[in-house]
Structure 1
Amino acid sequence: MKSFDGSVFLVSGASSGIGEAAAVSLQQRGAVVYGLTSSASTLASARERHPAVHWLSADVTRRSEVDTAMAAVLSEAGRLDGLVNNAGIYTFASLEASSEEMMRRQFEINVFGTVFLTQAALTALKDSRGTIVNVSSTSAHKAMPDQSIYAATKGAVESLTRAWALELARYGVRVNAISPGPTLTPGIAKIPMPREMFEAAKEQILQTVPLGRMGTPEEVAQWIVTLADPAVTWLTGQIVGIDGGLGVS
């Protein structure tokens, strides 16, 4: 019997990268998975690639849209056993070059979006004694130039993870996070910098990763699934580094 049989999960940022890999992996293990994406265009493409996943569209920075999406999940599935807070963006820039718009956008999606979605899911997760897996980043605790704002948002996610683990333990809700290192996701290719500069930066990063390469979304998603497994009952408040050893280098 699959350990996820009968479980209902919602994965945000599920139309690409780590979120997509997590949604597919959970579904393949027997969970009923709802994938949340931010726009109608990505929704259509995701539905075509993964018809077994139930797809919804919502901007996680807008509480009303989040509430509507969560209501749709509960109306259709009748319960929620797990939430994967994966939706996030990153824009790398020096402190001098960090605009107000860039800073606000990262905090709105990476921090407020995580809070809004968790608040919307909370009653259902308490009812099911469910689980939350947040997606952080090695940047939260591995200082690097030009990443201070992004790192601060992920530091906030890790703080939320630990605080929620204590706050929700009385309800049987487990809260953990993964902290991925450099991962080959579609978002990496969209970083706004000249190609030669991107390749140079990539090579510099790889030199600091003990395993000498970038990870894949599937490798990272495997640990989301592990932390979310209903059979994992004695783990909460933990931040698990999935980074090829970068965090200890």
Structure 2
Amino acid sequence: MSNDSEPAPAGRAVIVTGAGTGIGRATAQRFADEGASVLAVGRTGTTLAQTARDRPAIHPLVADVTDPDGPARVVDAALAVFGRIDVLVNNAAITRPAPLGQIDRADTAAQLATNLVGPVFLAQQALPHLVASSGLIVNVTSVQPFRGWPNNSVYGATKVALDFITRTWAVELAERGVRVVSVAPGVTHTPVLAHAGLSPEQIAEAGEQLRRRIPLGRLAQPEEIAWWIVRTARPEAGYLTGAVIQVDGGINVA
């Protein structure tokens, strides 16, 4: 039986982290275009302003979910603006590629804090309000556990861990009316590698190497990933929980 009482994205209050660029920006804009009110969270005010441009339903918030008070700031801001929380999209992530033997401790701590610990404590802070709204948590993940990913052991481990968290929370929260889903993008055109310090030449080379492995023969656009994230908030998705939705151009089955 479908859950006809679950609202469509229109009228819903949504938090999207990492909303200044890439998948986060596309997701915030897609939700807004479908009638949701969105708190766009990120570390840089200028990029958040670009996300919100010409979309009054998007409310930028400069905040860092890795700060001890970051999750409370985000949730308090959402409640102050919207009075409720229906959807939390844990999208913020960083990568610092390095092979074993060259892994930096500070870079590792930053990846763990942003990609894994931050989402845990933001979801925990938002949980009472998600229960009140029979809400949804979407964790944006990536690599699958049965494939190695050279130079990305720490980053990949955080994403695999987040998929495990998705499955566990789905079981824990089902009886409280909260659904939990992972959307796992494949290689996508975003600034994440530039933010990691790679040169344009290195990024182009890595993209070409990956493109040759992707059955569909191209990288994804952020808007293609955002479409799937927003679809999980539709009433037609009301029976979906604990799933990892791979949107990867076929790379994980190639």
Pairwise same-fold verdict (TM > 0.5): yes
Is 1:148 matched up with 2:156?
no
Task: Indicate which of 54, 62, 66 corresponds to 2:59.
Answer: 54
Task: Look up the SS of the partner of 1:231 in the other structure.
Answer: helix
Would the alpha carbon gap of residues 44 and 104 (structure 1) be closer, same or farther in structure 2, given more than 3 Å must change?
same
- The amino acid of 2:77's aligned partner reads A
Does residue 79 (structure 1) correspond to residue 84 (structure 2)? The answer is yes
Residues in 2 aligned to 1:94 and 1:66: alpha-carbon distance in whole angstroms = 32
| CA separation of 1:7 and 1:195: change in aligned 2, threshold 3 A | closer
> Secondary structure, in 3 states, of the residue corresponding to 1:134?
strand
Range with bigger deviation, 230-239 or 10-19 = 230-239
- How far is 1:233 from its partner? 1.0
Paired residue for 2:136? 131
Please say if 1:121 is aligned against 2:126: yes
CA offsets, 1:193-232, max 9 Å, x none?
3444433322211111110110000001110011122331
Secondary structure at the counterpart of residue 110 of structure 1: helix
Aligned pairs for 1:217-228 (under 5 A) are 217-228=222-233
Corresponding residue of 1:103: 108
Contact 1:141 1:155 in 2 (8 A): no
Per-residue CA deviations over 1:150-190 (Å, capped at 9, x if unaligned) read: 11010111111000000000111000001111000122344
Q: Which amino acid aligns with 1:52?
A: A
Other-structure match for 2:238 = 233
Contact 1:63 1:116 in 2 (8 A): no
Give identity over the alignment, percent.
41
Does 1:30 find its partner at 2:73? no
Match of 2:252 in 1: 247
Alpha carbons of structure 1 residues 26 and 44: separation in structure 2 relative to 1, 3 Å: closer
Structure 1 residues 112 and 49: CA distance shift in structure 2, 3 A: farther
1:68-115 Cα distance to aligned partner (Å, 9 max, x none)? 221121122111111100011111110111110111110000001111
Change (3 A) 1:54 1:193: closer
Counterpart AA for 2:24: G
Q: What SS class does the counterpart of residue 129 from structure 1 fall into?
A: coil
Q: Structure 1 residues 91, 37: CA separation in 2 closer, same or farther (over 3 Å shift)?
A: same
Cα distance in 2 for residues equivalent to 1:164 and 1:21:
26
**Measured at CA, do residues 57 and 73 of structure 1 come closer, stay the same or move farther in structure 2, by a change above 3 Å?**
same
> Aligned pair count?
248
* CA 1:188–1:194: 2 relative to 1, 3 Å: closer
Larger helix percent: 1
Residues 30 and 44 of structure 1: CA distance in aligned 2, closer, same or farther (over 3 Å): closer
Task: Specify the code of the residue in structure 1 equivalent to 2:97.
Answer: F
Q: Take 1:58 and 1:148, find their aligned partners in 2: how far apart are those partners?
A: 27
> In structure 1, what is the Cα distance between the partners aligned to 2:29 and 2:178?
23
* Counterpart pick for 1:39 among 33, 37, 44: 44
Q: Aligned ranges for residues 209-220 of structure 1 at < 5 Å?
A: 209-220=214-225
What TM-score do you get using the length of structure 2 for normalisation? Answer: 0.92
CA RMSD of aligned residues (A): 1.7
Point out the more displaced range, 159-168 or 140-149: 140-149
Give 1:204's match in structure 2, choosing from 209, 217, 221: 209
TM-score (norm 1): 0.93
